[in-house]
Amino acid sequence: MPRQIEHIIVLMLENRSFDHLFGFLDHPKPYNGLTGTESNPISATDNTQKSVFKSTKTYITPDPPHSHQEILQQMDLGIGGTNDGFVAAFAAKKALNGGASDIGDIMASLDTESPNNNGFIMAQLAKRFVLCDNWFSSVPGETWPNRNFVHAATSAGEVNITKKFYKDKTVFEAVADHGLRWKIYHDGPPQSWVFYKLWFQGGFSHFSNFEEDVKKDRLANYVFIEPKHFSFGGNTNNMHPGSNKTSSDMDFKNAENLVAYIYNLLNTNKKVFNKSIFVITFDEHGGFYDHVPPGRCSPPDNRMGEGGFAFDKYGMRVPTIIISPYAKKSYVDSTLYDHTSIIKSVFENFGIPGQLTNRDKNANSFLDNALVSRKKNQLDGVREHDIQEVFTTRSGGPEELNDFQRDLVMVAEAVDKVMADNQKEVEANIKRIGNNAEFDGVRALDAHMDTNRLLVIEKRFLKMYP
């Protein structure tokens, strides 16, 4: 593996399964995709089958189920199959919440072959560089526990979103401990704010600074990018199904354009690109069908989750692409990975000894599997979607929020309440608002939020912790 890598850059998007994005990808190499014969029964008592199919739709209503218990049902409906509960779980949520989508839409896989189709940008990069077809989310659970795993190799015993501050040591602190730099770029309040010890290391930065940092060759050694989770009068770009409410597909297109923007920016700055790895992955599958059953894995620690879950089983498979001039060309990497493979690779690349938990200790690094020792993959840029931005809400005005956004609003409000000049005071403030009771002191929220408030909190945070 080349030791010329100075920058590992990770973009983590939201809630898409491998088969949903790449199941029918026309890849030049064999990979573990769909055959077209996969199906799910409607329920445990109705064996009517809903089959996989190609679709150009990126939206689905209601937002697919992806809580811990719902994922366990998706993995096993209890009638002797594997990954046979996706339709039943979606049907149950639709019956409860309503929604315009057919229950069989949960089996859809994007048709990415036309240059005008959604998913085309991701497909082009997957076919040019390294496609990982055996990369799993770290826990059968929601966004937060999986994002916590990519940072700390544990979710502190949580399998669903638990709105509190977390204090487990992260990969960012390990990087800093060894004289290296890290940076989290965000456009709006990021989920990573919940790791309050990071606030005092000066590693948070607005995404608007990313381009200049690349052009001036001052990227940190480890870079993590959170997409735009709130529209602020424009549109989000995180691919979350709940952000794609209409056939405009604006969030999905903007998310692909974010991918293209980062890749093209790196690719046109060869001095930086020639010493970088760019990893695109997703926190979890978001409830969409995938045909590969997750296997067993090493528990990170002794903390148990809901129902006695021991964190000894992966979550569902997610799309992941590894991009670099050193990446093997048009390669399929079937090595077993999960999100802690990022931590393992960061430690290995930068010579950081030890591990955060037992999970990343036993994870596979992608460095030797995905990369070669000399540059060989110099390719052209990718074309972005040509879209007319649709402003779904007035700038700074009330915005209807999905569940994930409401959770982040709670984070922002809690951060605003506990910010202080030193860590001890922050910890005292956290104790005061009742951290163990899910931000107990934070006001209840309805389904709307004045986004001006979020911008004010973000600006205050970046000013206090530059």
In a domain, 389, yes or no: no
In a domain, 220, yes or no: yes
437: nearest Cα among 165, 142, 68: 165
Q: For 408, phi and psi rounded to 5 degrees?
A: -70, -30
Would you say residue 391 has pLDDT above 50? no
Burial of 107 (0-12, 13-18, 19+ CB in 10 A): buried
Between residues 370 and 82, which one has the greater pLDDT?
82
Residue 85 · residue 77 · CB < 8 Å: yes
Confidence (pTM): 0.95
In a domain, 432, yes or no: no
Distance separating alpha carbons of residues 382 and 122, to the nearest angstrom: 10
pLDDT for position 245: 63
Give bridge partners of residue 132 from the DSSP assignment.
Answer: 320, 333
Amino acid letter for position 342: I
Query: Residue 227 belongs to what domain range?
Result: 7-22+113-370
CATH code of the domain containing 342: 3.40.720.10
Task: For residue range 217-236, list pLDDT tens digits in order.
Answer: 999 999 999 999 988 766 88
Average pLDDT over residues 25-36: 97
The percentage of the chain sitting over the pLDDT mark of 70, rounded to a whole number, equals 89
184: nearest Cα among 232, 222, 129, 131: 222
In a domain, 154, yes or no: yes
pLDDT for position 400: 66
Distance separating alpha carbons of residues 5 and 324, to the nearest angstrom: 9
pLDDT for position 438: 61
Amino acid letter for position 19: D
Average pLDDT over residues 435-453: 61
Between residues 349 and 377, which one has the greater pLDDT?
349
In a domain, 355, yes or no: yes
pLDDT for position 454: 87
pLDDT for position 445: 53
Average pLDDT over residues 74-82: 94
**Token reading at 56:** 């150009």
In a domain, 356, yes or no: yes
Residues 6 or more apart whose CB falls under 8 angstroms from that of 126 comprise 22, 25, 27, 319, 321
Task: For residue range 119-175, list pLDDT tens digits in order.
Answer: 999 999 999 999 999 999 999 999 999 999 999 999 999 999 998 999 999 999 999
Average pLDDT over residues 341-360: 97
| Mean pLDDT, all residues of the chain | 90
In a domain, 455, yes or no: no
Query: What is the band of 435 on the pLDDT scale with cuts at 50, 70, 90?
Result: low
Query: What is the band of 365 on the pLDDT scale with cuts at 50, 70, 90?
Result: very high
Residue 258 · residue 110 · CB < 8 Å: no
In a domain, 67, yes or no: no
Average pLDDT over residues 283-301: 97
Distance separating alpha carbons of residues 74 and 89, to the nearest angstrom: 7
Helix (H) or strand (E) holding 203: none
Residues 256-279: b if buried by 16+ CB within 10 A, e if exposed? bbbbbbbbbbbbebeebbbbbbbb
Average pLDDT over residues 79-93: 96
- What domain count does the chain have? 1
